[in-house]
Structure 1
Amino acid sequence: MSVHEEISKKTNKTWGIIQTYRKLDEKREAEIEKVILQCQNNEAFSVDQINKVTEEINSFAAINHLPSRKFVTKQMVEEAAQN
């Protein structure tokens, strides 16, 4: 296999990893926004789904040497809802 093909293969693999990470991060951000809205509307909310996605991101990030994300607490949501 030529050097060009090897570079292309590696680039495509890296691009796929980054795309997967971005999609997980977008899913996490959507969950955070949803929970903040629930809190602002004085509705009951849970951070469980956010942290489930966070766990997925962190597992994926560890394997692929990408940044991890912090787990979210109810207090963090309440603070964000006030801003």
Structure 2
Amino acid sequence: MSVHKELAQHAEKMNGIYKTYLQFDQQREVYIEEAVQLCKQGLPFTTRKINEVTNQINRLNLRFVPFKKNVTPEMVQEYVEKIKNKDA
């Protein structure tokens, strides 16, 4: 196999992985927003779905994308408090 063909295949593979990353990242943001909205309303929420997607993102092992931290309920609560204080 020629080097050019190998490089093209590698680039195609990396592009596919990056597209998957973008989909996961978008879904993660949706889950974070859901948790924030529930927290704002004083309703119970979980970070389970956020962290499942976060773990999938981190398993992609893209070297040019920073490792994402798992989100705790306390992190969501702190964020909501920060928003409330900012708006007050």
Normalised by the length of structure 1, the TM-score is: 0.82
1:66-77 to 2 correspondence within 5 Å?
A: 66-77=65-76
Task: Give me the whole-angstrom Cα distance separating, in 1, the residues matched to 2:9 and 2:59.
Answer: 24
Q: CA–CA distance in 1 between the matches of 2:59 and 2:6?
A: 27
Q: Structure 1 residue 37 and structure 2 residue 37: aligned? A: yes
Shift of 1:60: 2.1
Give structure 2 stretches of 5+ with no counterpart.
84-88
Stretches of 4+ moved more than 6 A in 1?
none
Q: Secondary structure at 2:43's aligned position in 1?
A: coil
Identity %: 37
What is the Cα deviation at residue 36 of structure 1? 0.3
Q: Distance in 1 between matches of 2:26 and 2:15?
A: 16
The number of equivalent residue pairs is 81
Q: Superposition RMSD on alpha carbons, in Å?
A: 1.6
